[in-house]
Amino acid sequence: MLRKFSRRTLTFPLTPSRPGRLFPQLASGCARWSTRLLLVLLAGSLLFSASGDQKRITVYSVVANYSLPVTEIGGRDYVGLLEVLEPLGSVSATSNGTLWTLRYNNSEAEFTADSPHASVRGGALDLPASFQLQGGRGLVPVESLAQLLSRILGGPVALHLASRRVFIGSVAVHFTASAARTNRSTVVFNFSSPVNPMIATEPGKLQMTFTHEPLMGPSSSTLTFESKEIPSATYVEENGAAEITVSGRVPLLASFSNDGRTITVGPAPQAPPPTAASKTPAPAQAAVVTPNPRAQTPGAAAPAQVSATASYFAVIDASHGGRDPGETLASNLAEKDVTLAFARRLRQEFEARGLHALVLRDGDIDLSVDQRANLANVAHPAIYLCIHASSMGHGVRLYTAVLPAGGDDNGPFRNWSTAQSTFLPLSQQAAAALQNGLQSQGFAVRLLMAPLRPLNNIVAPAVAVELAPAEGGVNSLTSPEYQAQAAAGVVSGILAVRDKLGGGP
């Protein structure tokens, strides 16, 4: 699971006084979260929180932003009311036959199974469809949430029904977009609060998906720009998320600045055709300035040693490890174990093709992202592959870096946060080749971009590979057949662009 995104799964963006002014009921209980609920929300509202066909509803508030599954009953969308309120305060529910009673802070609401009539804080309220009681869970129609929550919380609630997005109070993030004044080939998006969307690219299109930010779009869903390269963008809301799709006549690339409040979209740099003199990229020899090259995580095990005389074609980085288990994929399966097993399988596949590969974490040890990048850069590989695993969705997701704006180099010293910049075109070519190789093995593959460390810090082509289960379920991730098939797809894809990558034996 890609937990190194700086995505705010649960956010507390405002001062404590604001929720008290808007929602006295919400403010009194916002600190009393159970550990169980926090883990559920963290797992449930990550980037790939569900397969693409699962309906979701997203709630935005001054306390937390979170996503929940939707249940369809009789052609209507329902959601558990207790689950909606649990992140917002102290809540409990009891059932007595067909009567279901919910207590939120000092409020009480009563519902009757298979009846649309309810009582909230002593006042009658009619739901647009009957209340459902299933295994002790109280389910209410999604379309009732604005009226129902405003009664319970004591403040304004807005519901975007078509996209299933709920806004509690004045939490919306707004944006403007226009062609840059100094460079009409780029478009600048300015947001009222920091954002961190998932970014995916394909020819002529760059898509930004806002899963956890309460983004609200302009009055028109289509934006036009005075730019020949980027003529337009569209804004849509769907399935608990908002999306901005930028259309371009050239391949596009996004960069972040202003602490996440500005995203600049412009033409992606094009890699020059390889020549005999440029098989090994020269920038890999440049010094890279790190925040603290010798820093190690307190108490961490010593990292793997990289020989200065060894020549590695591939550096394989098994994510997580040691005290960081990554995602709990199953009751007895941690992400760190899957990534290490697959990293070792990849090494075998490379070496079977006569190519030397290094596994950075060849054991259950702690490695910081800076340590991983330092070790990879010392090895000067032709390709760096960072391995992740997720229980959500199916297939494989491939990521290349999104770099922050600025970060200029200083003579022979490369800026740590943008060290990947020179290699990004080659990274994207490698990701496209990986996609072809994995698809030839029968995998569904998505190409994405993300501000994921340590990709930003690598001075070589760098791609993150995230494995998701086959149709057989999460245990397929440890299947020798699955791992062999995935490894074959990865290595065959890399070999298809080996002449462009250069480096290694």
Euclidean distance between the first and final Cα of the chain, in Å? 32
Closest listed residue to residue 498, CA positions, set 285, 359, 313, 284: 313
Q: Which of 78-92, 204-218, 267-281, 481-495 has the lowest mean pLDDT?
A: 267-281
Write down the domain spans for the chain.
17-157, 175-267, 277-501
Structure tokens at 191: 């947001």
- The arithmetic mean of pLDDT across residues 255-279, rounded, is 69
- Residue 178 pLDDT grade (very low, low, confident, very high; cuts 50, 70, 90): very high
pLDDT at 493 over 60: yes
Domain 17-157 fold = Copper Amine Oxidase; Chain A, domain 1 (3.30.457)
Beta bridge partners of 319: none
Between strands 262-267 and 107-112, the pairing is unpaired
Q: What are phi and psi of 248, to 5 degrees?
A: -140, 160
Calpha distance 176→103 (Å, rounded):
41
pLDDT value for 279? 43
SS3 of residue 24 by DSSP: helix
Beta bridge partners of 245: 207, 234
Residue matched to tokens 């609920």:
37
Residue matched to tokens 């990292």:
303
Q: Is 39 exposed, middle or buried (0-12, 13-18, 19+ CB in 10 A)?
A: exposed
- Residue 38 pLDDT grade (very low, low, confident, very high; cuts 50, 70, 90): very low
Q: Which of 34-38, 158-162, 493-497, 498-502 has the lowest mean pLDDT?
A: 34-38
Condensed to tens digits (0 to 9), the pLDDT of residues 310-368 reads 578 999 999 999 889 998 898 889 999 999 999 999 999 999 998 999 999 988 888 88
22, 25, 30, 36: CA torsion to nearest 10: -140
CA angle 52, 56, 61 (to 5 degrees): 135
Condensed to tens digits (0 to 9), the pLDDT of residues 68-127 reads 999 999 999 999 999 999 999 899 999 999 999 999 988 899 999 999 999 999 999 999
Closest listed residue to residue 134, CA positions, set 161, 111, 151, 152: 111
Q: What are phi and psi of 346, to 5 degrees?
A: -65, -45
pLDDT at 175 over 60: yes
pLDDT value for 262? 92
pLDDT value for 303? 47
pLDDT value for 504? 54
Q: Which of 42-56, 127-141, 149-163, 198-212 has the lowest mean pLDDT?
A: 42-56
SS3 content of the chain, % helix, strand, coil (to 5): 25, 30, 40
SS3 of residue 125 by DSSP: strand
pLDDT at 57 over 60: yes
Calpha distance 467→25 (Å, rounded):
43
pLDDT value for 39? 31
pLDDT value for 302? 43
CB 336 within 8 A of CB 321: yes
Condensed to tens digits (0 to 9), the pLDDT of residues 393-437 reads 889 999 999 887 655 555 555 678 888 888 999 999 999 999 999
Residue 256 is classified by DSSP as E
Condensed to tens digits (0 to 9), the pLDDT of residues 219-234 reads 778 999 988 899 999 9
Residue with the bigger pLDDT between 172 and 7: it is 172
Class of domain 277-501: alpha beta
- Indicate the pTM of the whole model: 0.57
- Preceding amide of 454 cis, omega within 30: yes
CATH 3.50.50.60 is held by the domain 175-267: no
Condensed to tens digits (0 to 9), the pLDDT of residues 108-119 reads 999 999 999 999
Calpha distance 305→361 (Å, rounded):
10
